[in-house]
Structure 1
């Protein structure tokens, strides 16, 4: 993501996650080529690691003093406020210092590749979203599997930070895509406003009743370069993989992949999706504003967009009319979502492994996460279910329970070293503009991804 894409707080409308889901799925090949050139780096022993830690206390971070130790943390702009808050709390607990600095997105892959090539310990804790952990793997990130207690963390968030079954980053937050809807409009359409339809087919059945004047059932920019994001959120409910582990095989050429395109076609054909905003140049930022102004009955979005509609400066909605639920499923009872969260990993070459783990233990502890949500300014939602459902947190973040529930659902963004977004844009455009069948759309997406894989392997 770019440095301007991830700033703000819950108080002023939430973290701007517009391109977080998208940009986090693709790391340019150039930076990775440098990492690959480090002869034998993958086999070089890392700094000595501490033994597995016991389950952390509610405060986390342990009782060991790290006075005199200074950790360097490289991150992105949006995570800076939260990490600075955690750094202050960790210092108060252990005496250790942590200096948080932004590594610009345009430089991040090259910078991290350089750490691998030089076995450089200069940055102790690293930005660790799934795209980076998948592409650099254990060449750069320490395996935290037996070193960090994750028993109270949302399972799908933890799983998203695993590579080949190994945990390579500690989750920093838990934001993910949800179904956000106007309770009043759904009630007028004959639906239960507290229990909206749980499947897309049931949603589409309300298309005519939700279409009032120039308002439609959902404002969603399918054709504004985000088709892959929404497709993945729907496909994840199947529990099937999109690609194999090394991204050299397409695995969505199946009945579940076809069902997603079929569902998209139904939604477009019934005009459940507002046909006037499909190609909105402002994409989901614009459609979120339209929803907040009562110009759409629902949307898919992260907690930022709930916040914009709930109490944002542009909203025309009453807070009690802004509903949130898990994303509807294609097959009843098999829901999914797509992640918009990031993590923090340990540089395997760090000179301060014990201090790094202490920092991560504190960062993921109940006390620290609750403090972030009740007193912090970052706007990032907690990664612990016991914090998201804590009464004090629910008072200011009433959708915590929904987020905690979705945290148990499949949420992988299926990061790849090549950009598959244009492939899915083309497939959905074919449905919308050319009247292509679901099978034609699937065939187009499969061929497009196979072509990218061939180019990737031959590069």
Structure 2
């Protein structure tokens, strides 16, 4: 993780207050308003050529090329709008750069923001809700995956359009399962089954049973899979969250299980970097890992000729309440300090991105979920599923998740910080510095304090 985007108490107040005052001074529409009618600078489509849409994103590596290709295809499809994609580094880097432009005439027309930045984006009052364009255009939202749009829907309003979407699944080495006398076609479904399988693999002496990177996202997912909320007030959805629930029964049960696996050598602890976990799995050094669905193609390719990769649902404790997974990734936000024509042009680009053909291209080349249902009817997607049948696990897990406040996911203004605090608590427990309960009690207290500090700066 890079430095948190709300790293000082005073910075929270200054940032949000400044952003909101500046937005008001500029005459921008608030978060619940229609696209601003006045032109505040920028480009127009009439005499000056196509309307320019500046799109800031955080898709690095090979995904940059995929974004650039989508932009190029859109620009070539018509002559009234020209989108310019600008890579801004990590999600945290992007947010820092965006905050520096809030209240000015600078900055993007369209911005990608990670899911844990959702509450901040709403509270900043610097965006035009996607719902406004949906309503004006009579856009059919039913064509999109409800378990994906659900995360970004608060108070019945879709605030941003999902873009890159994933969830975590269990990856396992079928060869190591066979060597341990386990059924390679039956991945463990519960904490208890996973612990037994991991122990059996470790006892073969061929590899360690499992590894879970110390990643706060996984803890959030374990909560949702037990039907448990991560913060109060309906996971921050019925009203803004005021308290962390990370030290509730779901959290303590999860961390106790995790620590017990490490203590008994059924699992090892390789730290916070998910890349280290993936490398160990690809090298055949661990039998099971948790990872994003977006990592599937890379993990299967890396195992080619060495072992067969199996996939399973995220495990849960025996007897846990019905739950599911929360979508991760990021969504697209239209900034309300841009001229009306520019905002509408950004919306046209978004509609292009959500078409079945483009979603199929996005999915196949990145591993992220298509957000559009009909993308699965594209022959290219069908062919890709034949090549990577493991992805069916991810699709089934998404579709079997029943949408409720737990599986919609938590929203809070200090989520990036909270995620780091939880990772610190997991480390304390796994390294025997604190008991799971004490570590999570400390994390909950610290997160609650930060939530309450943040809430004081925001006019609800």
Gapped regions of structure 2 (runs ≥ 5): 37-47, 402-406
| Contact in 2 for aligned 1:326/1:335 (Cα 8 Å) | no
Deviation for aligned residue 1:80 = 3.6
Match of 1:142 among 101, 104, 128: 128
In structure 1, how many angstroms separate the alpha carbons of the residues matched to 2:328 and 2:262?
25
| 1:126 aligned counterpart, secondary structure | strand
Per-residue CA distance 1:71-108 (angstroms, 9 max, x = gap): 11111242543332222232333332211112345653
Deviation for aligned residue 1:293 = 1.6
How does 1:75-114 map onto structure 2 within 5 Å?
75-78=57-60, 80-95=64-79, 96-105=81-90, 108-114=94-100
| 1:263 aligned counterpart, secondary structure | helix
In structure 2, how many angstroms separate the alpha carbons of the residues matched to 1:348 and 1:203?
48
Query: Could you tell me which residue of structure 2 aligns to residue 401 of structure 1?
Result: 392
Residue 372 of structure 2 is aligned to residue 350 of structure 1: no
TM-score for both structures, normalised by structure 1: 0.77
Query: Could you tell me which residue of structure 1 aligns to residue 21 of structure 2?
Result: 39
Range moving further from structure 2, 393-402 or 31-40:
31-40
In structure 1, how many angstroms separate the alpha carbons of the residues matched to 2:332 and 2:410?
17
In structure 1, how many angstroms separate the alpha carbons of the residues matched to 2:354 and 2:197?
42
CA 28–346 in structure 1, closer or farther in 2 if over 3 Å, else same = farther
In structure 2, how many angstroms separate the alpha carbons of the residues matched to 1:309 and 1:74?
28
Query: Could you tell me which residue of structure 2 aligns to residue 7 of structure 1?
Result: none
CA 185–110 in structure 1, closer or farther in 2 if over 3 Å, else same = closer
In structure 2, how many angstroms separate the alpha carbons of the residues matched to 1:107 and 1:308?
25
| Contact in 1 for aligned 2:221/2:325 (Cα 8 Å) | yes
| 1:193 aligned counterpart, secondary structure | coil
Per-residue CA distance 1:179-215 (angstroms, 9 max, x = gap): 1001222234343322311111111122331112152
Deviation for aligned residue 1:339 = 4.1
Query: Could you tell me which residue of structure 2 aligns to residue 259 of structure 1?
Result: 253
Residue 161 of structure 2 is aligned to residue 175 of structure 1: no
Deviation for aligned residue 1:387 = 2.9
In structure 1, how many angstroms separate the alpha carbons of the residues matched to 2:318 and 2:199?
22
In structure 1, how many angstroms separate the alpha carbons of the residues matched to 2:304 and 2:185?
21
In structure 2, how many angstroms separate the alpha carbons of the residues matched to 1:194 and 1:426?
35
Query: Could you tell me which residue of structure 2 aligns to residue 216 of structure 1?
Result: 208
How does 1:408-447 map onto structure 2 within 5 Å?
408=399, 409=401, 410=407, 412=409, 414=411, 416-417=413-414, 419-434=417-432, 437-447=435-445
In structure 2, how many angstroms separate the alpha carbons of the residues matched to 1:324 and 1:369?
23
| Contact in 2 for aligned 1:204/1:270 (Cα 8 Å) | no
CA 28–362 in structure 1, closer or farther in 2 if over 3 Å, else same = farther
CA 123–88 in structure 1, closer or farther in 2 if over 3 Å, else same = same
Give the aligned length.
Answer: 409
In structure 2, how many angstroms separate the alpha carbons of the residues matched to 1:31 and 1:443?
24
Range moving further from structure 2, 384-393 or 170-179:
384-393
CA 183–71 in structure 1, closer or farther in 2 if over 3 Å, else same = same
| 1:349 aligned counterpart, secondary structure | coil
Residue 290 of structure 2 is aligned to residue 300 of structure 1: yes
Match of 1:133 among 108, 111, 118: 118
In structure 1, how many angstroms separate the alpha carbons of the residues matched to 2:343 and 2:420?
41
Match of 1:288 among 274, 278, 289: 278
Query: Could you tell me which residue of structure 1 aligns to residue 317 of structure 2?
Result: 330
In structure 1, how many angstroms separate the alpha carbons of the residues matched to 2:438 and 2:357?
51
Deviation for aligned residue 1:414 = 4.9
How does 1:189-228 map onto structure 2 within 5 Å?
189-211=180-202, 212-213=204-205, 215-222=207-214, 226=215, 228=216
Deviation for aligned residue 1:135 = 0.5
CA 122–289 in structure 1, closer or farther in 2 if over 3 Å, else same = closer
In structure 2, how many angstroms separate the alpha carbons of the residues matched to 1:326 and 1:115?
41
How does 1:44-83 map onto structure 2 within 5 Å?
44-45=28-29, 49=35, 68-78=50-60, 80-83=64-67
In structure 2, how many angstroms separate the alpha carbons of the residues matched to 1:455 and 1:372?
39
Output the aligned Cα RMSD.
3.4
Per-residue CA distance 1:124-166 (angstroms, 9 max, x = gap): 1112222333202161222113615432333333222234543
Query: Could you tell me which residue of structure 2 aligns to residue 152 of structure 1?
Result: 143
| Contact in 2 for aligned 1:133/1:141 (Cα 8 Å) | no
